[in-house]
Amino acid sequence: MPSKFAVTGGIGSGKSALCHILKERGHPVFSCDKINRALLLEKDYLDGLKQRFPACFREGALDRAALAALVFADRKALAALNAYAHPRIYARLNEEMESAKRVCFAEVPLLFESGMPALFDGVIVVLREREERIRAVIARDGLTREQVEARIRDQFDYDGPLPEGCFVIENDGGEEALQKKADALLAELKTRGMLP
C-beta separation of 7 from 15 below 8 A: yes
CATH of 4-187, one of 3.40.50.300, 3.40.1160.10, 1.20.58.100, 3.90.550.10: 3.40.50.300
pLDDT tens-place string over residues 158-180: 989 999 999 999 999 999 999 99
Q: How far is CA 95 from CA 34, 90, 119, 163, 183, in A?
A: 14, 9, 12, 26, 27
pLDDT tens-place string over residues 68-88: 989 988 989 999 999 999 999
C-beta separation of 17 from 134 below 8 A: no
Secondary structure class of 172 (helix, strand, coil): coil
Strands 167-170 and 122-127: parallel
Q: Is the pLDDT of residue 64 over 90?
A: yes
Domain locations along the chain: 4-187
Measured distance CA(12)–CA(153) in Å, rounded: 13
Question: What is the pLDDT, as a whole number, of residue 1?
Answer: 77
Measured distance CA(165)–CA(113) in Å, rounded: 17
C-beta separation of 13 from 152 below 8 A: no
Q: What end-to-end distance do the CA atoms of the chain give, in Å?
A: 12
Question: What is the pLDDT, as a whole number, of residue 154?
Answer: 83
Q: Is the pLDDT of residue 108 over 90?
A: yes
The average confidence (pLDDT) of the chain is: 94
Side-by-side strand order, sheet with 122-127: 29-31, 104-107, 4-8, 122-127, 167-170
